């Protein structure tokens, strides 16, 4: 496939930007070759600067549940921009987005808007520490919560892909208060708590792991975490930056009917512009400055432009039938992929929750990060490029998720299954 313009663009971008990209996972280093520079997106498609068209399942890593350049979102952003993009002063638009989130997400009685998922998780943990007066935090191996210093301990996403158990530049002292246990293992959580009595401020996790591929919680696991943390006065934080408004309008917590104490959001609530959020019980959120003494701030937090994109997106998702439509399209894709691996005798573990899915090249059952790490990343690399050459763009890493949007057509799904079947037939 023609990619000379992307190669030239990458050679130039590396002169000015570390690795030529503004986020590590974009640089294709784990699938080889070089990134494709994207010219534009429309609906379910993206187009690179060499003129190649792709059915897109990255969706900017989740935000674009309505697809690229959705007319309602573009129109709303254009109108908002004409009134000014940011004032550093409150606007009623921020209250509208906050009210929408409070009404949608069971755990959230009050919410603070920020500019990224990283800010959301960093702030939520600071609030949990302020609220409990405790220092230690408990996280899950393979969960990624953004690039907060003390959370880059056995993180998923880029760190897992780069095989780093900790990031450089993070003093050991910073990670000292971070305890890590495996996913889907409630006993490990119980043991960590018993070994650190009254010292753990919070347990933070992705209720559905989305940064080591897709790993759903075992039946009852989230309920057990709810009970254990409740019993020990530990703040239970669901990082729903990916799953929020993705697997259900109320996120994974409504999908599984388990209510945490705090929730972090991002991606979809910004409709493709930078918005993050953290929220929870009023009793906890009253710790946040200026009401309380836990400081958190942001120049562009809640800016009217990004908030407008988020409001428009969530309005669309509130319409009847949206999640049933996402479910049916994603189920058709998953069924086609499963049939293809079966037909060609490919060892694969298929995982899906709603419109987020991943295919692992492993004979193992994947229930935690160690299971995901058994995947054959060489085979994934072949799969990735085989699909790209056939006009299908999936995440350039075995340890990410695929996303189906509201505008992926039946034809898109059929073409994707056809391409995958051809690729899998020739996999070495
Ligand atoms: P951001 O700071 O990238 O907006 O959000 C961090 C974050 C927090 N929590 C979860 C569950 C997340 O998945 C993320 C970010 N996700 C990655 C990929 N899965 C973003 C892609 C990237 O880093 O370029």
Per-residue pLDDT of the chain (428 residues; tens, 9 = 90+): 999 999 999 999 999 999 999 999 999 998 999 999 999 999 999 999 999 999 999 999 999 999 999 999 999 999 999 999 999 999 999 999 999 999 999 999 999 999 999 999 999 999 999 999 999 999 999 999 999 998 987 655 555 544 445 788 887 777 788 999 999 999 999 999 999 999 999 999 999 999 999 999 999 999 999 999 999 999 999 999 999 999 999 999 999 999 999 999 999 999 999 999 999 999 999 999 999 999 999 999 999 999 999 999 999 999 999 999 999 999 999 999 999 999 999 999 999 999 999 999 999 999 999 999 999 999 999 999 999 999 999 999 999 999 999 999 999 999 999 999 999 999 98
Residues 6 or more apart whose Cβ sits within 8 Å of residue 257 = none
Q: What's the CA gap between 131 and 110, in Å, rounded? A: 15
Helices within 83-137 (DSSP H only): 92-104, 117-132
- Atom number of ligand 1 nearest to Cα 25: 24
Domains and CATH numbers, the chain: 4-69+320-425 (3.90.1150.10), 71-317 (3.40.640.10)
Please state, in angstroms and rounded to a whole number, the distance separating the CA atoms of residues 155 and 167.
9
Angle at 361 between CA 360 and CA 363, to 5 degrees: 100
Q: Which of 374, 382, 388 is nearest to 424 (CA)?
A: 382
Instruction: Determine the pLDDT at residue 154.
Output: 62
Peptide bond into 290 cis (omega under 30): yes
Ligand 1 within 6 A of 148 CB? no
Q: What's residue 156's pLDDT?
A: 55
Structure tokens at 52: 């190649």
* Separation of alpha carbons 377 and 360, rounded Å: 9
| Predicted pLDDT of residue 161 | 46
Please give the order of strands across the beta sheet that includes 110-114.
110-114, 276-280, 262-265, 235-239, 200-205, 136-140, 178-181
Q: Tell me, what's the pLDDT at 163?
A: 40
- Ligand 1 centre from 329 Cα, in Å? 24
Distances from the Cα of 410 to the Cαs of 44, 331, 405, in angstroms? Answer: 11, 11, 12
Give the residue, by CA position, lying nearest to ligand 1 atom 6.
146
35: DSSP letter: P
- Ligand 1 contact, 61 CB (< 6 A): yes
Read off the pTM: 0.97
* Catalytic residue list: 144, 239, 267
Ligand 1: which of 155, 157, 262 to mutate, judged by most atoms within 8 Å of the beta carbon? 157
Is the Cβ atom of 25 under 6 angstroms away from ligand 1?
yes
């Amino acid at each position: 496939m023609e990619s000379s313009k992307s190669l030239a663009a990458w050679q130039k971008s590396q002169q000015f930007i570390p690795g030529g990209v503004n986020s590590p996972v974009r640089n294709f280093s784990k699938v080889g070759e070089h990134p494709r520079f994207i010219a534009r997106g429309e609906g379910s498609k993206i187009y690179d600067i060499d003129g190649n068209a792709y059915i897109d399942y990255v969706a900017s890593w989740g935000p674009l549940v309505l697809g690229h350049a959705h007319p309602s979102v573009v129109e709303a952003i254009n109108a908002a921009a004409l009134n000014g993009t940011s004032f550093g002063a409150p606007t009623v638009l921020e209250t509208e987005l906050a009210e929408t989130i409070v009404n949608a997400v069971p755990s959230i009685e009050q919410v603070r808007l920020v500019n990224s998922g990283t800010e959301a998780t960093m702030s939520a943990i600071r609030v949990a520490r302020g609220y409990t007066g405790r220092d230690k935090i408990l996280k899950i191996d393979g969960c990624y919560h953004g690039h907060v210093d003390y959370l880059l301990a056995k993180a998923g996403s880029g760190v897992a892909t780069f095989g780093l158990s900790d990031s450089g530049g993070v003093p050991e002292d910073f990670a000292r208060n971070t305890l890590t246990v495996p996913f889907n293992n409630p006993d490990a959580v119980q043991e960590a708590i018993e070994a650190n009595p009254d010292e753990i401020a919070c347990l933070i996790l992705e209720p559905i792991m989305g940064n080591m591929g897709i790993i759903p919680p075992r039946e009852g696991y989230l309920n057990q975490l709810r009970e254990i943390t409740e019993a020990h006065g530990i703040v239970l934080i669901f990082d729903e930056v990916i799953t929020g408004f993705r697997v259900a309008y109320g996120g994974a917590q409504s999908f599984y009917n388990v209510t945490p104490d705090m929730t972090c959001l991002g991606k979809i609530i910004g409709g493709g512009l930078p918005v993050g959020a953290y929220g929870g019980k009023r009793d906890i959120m009253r710790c946040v400055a200026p009401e309380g003494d836990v400081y958190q701030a942001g120049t562009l937090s809640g800016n009217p432009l990004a908030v407008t994109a988020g409001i428009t997106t969530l309005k669309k998702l509130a319409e009847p039938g949206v999640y049933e439509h996402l479910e049916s399209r994603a189920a058709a894709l998953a069924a086609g992929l499963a049939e293809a691996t079966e037909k060609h005798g490919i060892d694969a573990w298929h995982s899906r929750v709603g419109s987020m899915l991943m295919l692992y090249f492993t004979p193992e059952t994947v229930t935690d990060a160690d299971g995901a790490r058994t995947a054959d990343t060489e085979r994934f690399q072949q799969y990735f490029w085989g699909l790209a050459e056939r006009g299908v763009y999936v995440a350039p890493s075995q340890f990410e998720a695929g996303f189906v949007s509201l505008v992926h057509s039946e034809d898109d799904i059929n073409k994707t299954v056809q391409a995958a079947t051809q690729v899998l037939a020739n996999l070495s």
